[in-house]
Structure 1
Amino acid sequence: MFSSLSRRATVLVSSSLVVAAAATLAAMQDAHRPTEAAPQAGAETVPNSGPADRAPSAAGVHPRPGAVAVCDQAGEDEVIRVPDAAAPEGGRPIWVHRPPGPDSADLPVLYLLHGSTGTHHDIIDSGVGEAMDEQMCRTGVEFVIAAPFGQEVGGADTEWGDAVDDDYRIETFVTEKAIEAVEGEDRRPRELRAIGGFSMGGYGAAAIPLRHPDLYAQAISWAGYFKVDDPSGTFGRDTDAHAPDKLLDDPEVQDIRFMLIEGTEDRTPLQQGSIHGEAERFAGLLRERGMSVRTLFPSGGHTYSAWKPTYPDAVAFLTEGWSAAPGPAAD
């Protein structure tokens, strides 16, 4: 969802959006789309060093502001289509934006999750690729962007999760198939893998790394919420296992770095309450545990016009973490 519309409209409109998304995917050769491939201020706590076996052992990426390839040549787009019976036409697409040059295991990856009524096309059409290219040049650290499609054929509000009745397995897709498709043989260490998202994707960007701390070291939530808000009953009664605010006491999650971004006018309704105040509430829980968190409260509501001005801060945040990360382990 990338407008000021209530996310409670999801159940009513997501079925039609999924059908529309399927039709749109069939026209991906359009000149305005990537080609499809076959198969202001923030506050931060003192970062927790985390478990000893995760402490960086060597220098990570080396920033070269203004001197990386993307400064001279735009990143390259493709859409990878991965088989998935719960997706329209039996395939789940992933938009991938790569900086110029060969891929490698020491090139960071940012996975981006869309909102409840959206698709990966919303992320593409918002200009994320071009905007992030600019920030990569500015910071001197290039990275891959990967945005999977998180809807299902029945039109349910998936919450980026695995359905309790096993009708769809979106979380498993993100944490397994998407990583395999995007990274291939150049598997990244978790220190060079981040996850972010918008609205429902902002919820997923908090819940998924807390449930899979072995996969992600950094998370950015734009307009997310940090309790379960599950109108389609994706999780059934097992809600605590999917609630970010209930998952913070596991020692394995203590070194995950969080950035929480919430528009000052964002009052998008949830089943209980609204998104307003969620970033501040969750940041307080993180700080109580000595975890690293940075918050931003840009002017505006639940729209890209509020979120886009935060990209420089978001990329600077990621670059800090990636610059301190170890390189890939030797074979």
Structure 2
Amino acid sequence: MKNRWQPSGLVGEKRPRRPLRAFAPPLLSFVGALLGGALVTVGMTPGLSALLIALGLDIQRTQMLTALFCCAGAGFCGGLVGRRLLGAVPASLLLFWSAYLQDFIGAELQPVHDPGGQLEPLNVGALIHTVLMLLALALLAAFAGCAIGEVLARVLCDPIVQTWQLLRSRQRLAALQETAPLAVPKLAPPVAPQPRPLAFMGSWLLAALLVVSLILAAGSGDLFLFAPDTGIHTPPVIHTAGRPNKGTVVKDSFASPSLHGQRRSFLVYLPPSYNTPAGQQQRYPVLYLLHGSPGKIVDWVTGGKAEQSADTLIDLGKIPELIMVFPDGNGRPGATSEWGNSGDGRQLLENYVAIDLVHYIDSHYRTIPSPEDRAIGGNSMGGFGAANIAIHHPDVFGFVISLGGYYRAEGLIWGNDPAYRRANSPLYTIASNRRSQRLAFFLGAATKDQPYYSDTLQFAQVLKKLHVRYTLDIEKGYHSWHVWEVQLYHALLWLHWGQSSPQAS
């Protein structure tokens, strides 16, 4: 007679298969990721966005980072509830698409114009590549969130479930011992587990997606440093007959005496006529553009579109041709350089720019070597550095372009001497250096960029009181390359080469 209390693993009747049971955990993960991600989006997005903006990010990067955070949150909820990547990841990507990506694509498909109103054509290939990078970042965020959620579920839930299963198995074993016959039933031979085709294919698919996502995400640095739409639109097409309409950017380097013989690389923009037969006897004014922190020599070309703006304005005949130099201002590890001479005298970046670099450029390129044809500018830390260097060297530079800058010495590089900090604070040194009051300043700020907006207005009041000529350009926006791109375009139009100072506005 068949034993009705026969436990699993003993010879006897087989339990009926439940095919739908295999789909329950992925489905639970999918639903948990959708609901949890929606709650994260509604509950945490406003606070996270406010925090990122307060830290200095612009609205474009803030929206991208917030969407990635919500994607990770959805993955976390799916991993916590159902512990299945195959359920949590699709739901997280669906949330990322609906909350951010579809609006981003729609915005990029709209006509985009440069600050002068010229149409910037859409680069479809660049848009597709950017969308793939964003999807890769979202997939990695979902992977990470789901993994954390699954681990947390194991730590918190498994002890409870295992304890309940142990108690239940003891109860069943006790009941079996009371009712089972004395004869020991024959044990069934162990059966090797058979791989499930769907699970096998799914694991390989997830592995492939992870590898591809890592490869795509490795090239996404510009999305975080500049803006998600960087490079999606190409320079305006201006039909010019009979002459080149594009400049060239070359890389150069030299050993700086001020930096103890250290070799520093930099980029140089050469105007369209520079390498033509007609331009061989021509000399050009020079604009030095300093990057912010963190930064590198390509920032003004990639993020600020300096090359594009110069090409367009030259081609339209709105500005004369010029040379632009993009130096490297990174200093010792662990501290921003501030483009200054450090308090201990061991890092003389100001001397590198104002003396060594200027001398090298004038010696190796066809420049007009006079302050009236030499300008220095920058963004953020570079804006501070441009003002500080120019005030210390009014015999070298005649024009200053400070965008999103500040005007008091900040950072560890200056040391602890208050007098030295004050000597490197343009807000104070402009009043005591009468020769520097002949400089002309272009000050750029954005309405939602604090504290730089207030710093710029304060410095403008000092210039006004001292009767120093300046132009104040206020744009709507944040501490971002979108603002600095517009303001550099305006600054290139503002420069009046060969004059001691242009008209203020």
TM-score by length of 2: 0.47
Question: Are the counterparts in 1 of residues 285 and 368 from structure 2 also a CA contact under 8 Å?
Answer: no
Could you tell me how far 1:280 is from its partner in structure 2? 1.0
Q: Any residues of structure 2 matched to 1:159-170 within 5 Å, and which?
A: 159-170=338-349
* Partner of residue 414 from structure 2, selected from 223, 234, 241: 234
Counterpart amino acid of residue 133 in structure 1: D
* Partner of residue 263 from structure 2, selected from 83, 91, 95: 91
SS in structure 2 opposite 1:305? helix
Query: Aligned partners of 2:499 and 2:256: how far apart in 1?
Result: 36
Could you tell me how far 1:90 is from its partner in structure 2? 4.2
The alignment-based identity, stated in percent, is 26
Aligned to 1:195: 376
CA 1:75–1:241: 2 relative to 1, 3 Å:
same
Most deviating of 172-181 and 217-226: 172-181
CA 1:161–1:105: 2 relative to 1, 3 Å:
farther
Q: Any residues of structure 2 matched to 1:21-60 within 5 Å, and which?
A: none
1:206 aligns with 2:387: yes
Q: Any residues of structure 2 matched to 1:1-331 within 5 Å, and which?
A: 6=55, 72-84=244-256, 90-100=262-272, 101=274, 102=279, 106-126=283-303, 127-138=305-316, 139-184=318-363, 186=367, 188-229=369-410, 231-237=411-417, 238-249=420-431, 250-267=433-450, 274-318=451-495, 321-322=496-497, 324=499
Counterpart amino acid of residue 322 in structure 2: F
Query: Aligned partners of 2:351 and 2:336: how far apart in 1?
Result: 16
Q: Deviations over 1:27-79 (max 9, x none)?
A: xxxxxxxxxxxxxxxxxxxxxxxxxxxxxxxxxxxxxxx99999733111111
Structure exhibiting the larger radius of gyration computed from Cα positions: 2
Question: Are the counterparts in 2 of residues 71 and 137 from structure 1 also a CA contact under 8 Å?
Answer: no
Gaps of 5+ in 2: 1-51, 57-237
Question: Are the counterparts in 2 of residues 162 and 171 from structure 1 also a CA contact under 8 Å?
Answer: yes
CA 1:103–1:281: 2 relative to 1, 3 Å:
farther
Most deviating of 296-305 and 307-316: 307-316
Question: Are the counterparts in 1 of residues 258 and 356 from structure 2 also a CA contact under 8 Å?
Answer: no
SS in structure 2 opposite 1:93? strand
Aligned to 2:15: none
CA 1:246–1:69: 2 relative to 1, 3 Å:
farther
Query: Aligned partners of 1:70 and 1:119: how far apart in 2?
Result: 36
CA 1:165–1:207: 2 relative to 1, 3 Å:
same
SS in structure 1 opposite 2:408? coil
CA 1:70–1:275: 2 relative to 1, 3 Å:
farther
Counterpart amino acid of residue 322 in structure 1: W
CA 1:68–1:294: 2 relative to 1, 3 Å:
farther
The structure with more helix, counted as a fraction of residues: 2
Which structure would you say has the larger RCO, counting Cα contacts within 8 Å and 6 or more residues apart? 1
Query: Aligned partners of 1:173 and 1:324: how far apart in 2?
Result: 26
Q: Deviations over 1:108-149 (max 9, x none)?
A: 100000002111122222232112211233314111110100
Query: Aligned partners of 1:71 and 1:225: how far apart in 2?
Result: 41
Query: Aligned partners of 1:70 and 1:172: how far apart in 2?
Result: 42
Most deviating of 247-256 and 209-218: 247-256
Question: Are the counterparts in 2 of residues 4 and 303 from structure 1 also a CA contact under 8 Å?
Answer: no
Aligned to 2:49: none
Query: Aligned partners of 1:205 and 1:86: how far apart in 2?
Result: 18
CA 1:74–1:116: 2 relative to 1, 3 Å:
same
Could you tell me how far 1:167 is from its partner in structure 2? 2.6
Query: Aligned partners of 1:169 and 1:161: how far apart in 2?
Result: 6
CA 1:137–1:155: 2 relative to 1, 3 Å:
farther
CA 1:218–1:298: 2 relative to 1, 3 Å:
same
Question: Are the counterparts in 2 of residues 96 and 182 from structure 1 also a CA contact under 8 Å?
Answer: no
CA 1:156–1:86: 2 relative to 1, 3 Å:
farther
Could you tell me how far 1:154 is from its partner in structure 2? 2.4
Question: Are the counterparts in 2 of residues 240 and 246 from structure 1 also a CA contact under 8 Å?
Answer: yes
Query: Aligned partners of 2:293 and 2:357: how far apart in 1?
Result: 19
CA 1:81–1:227: 2 relative to 1, 3 Å:
same
Equivalent pairs counted in the alignment come to: 257
Counterpart amino acid of residue 447 in structure 2: T
Aligned to 2:122: none
Question: Are the counterparts in 2 of residues 191 and 322 from structure 1 also a CA contact under 8 Å?
Answer: yes
SS in structure 1 opposite 2:487? helix
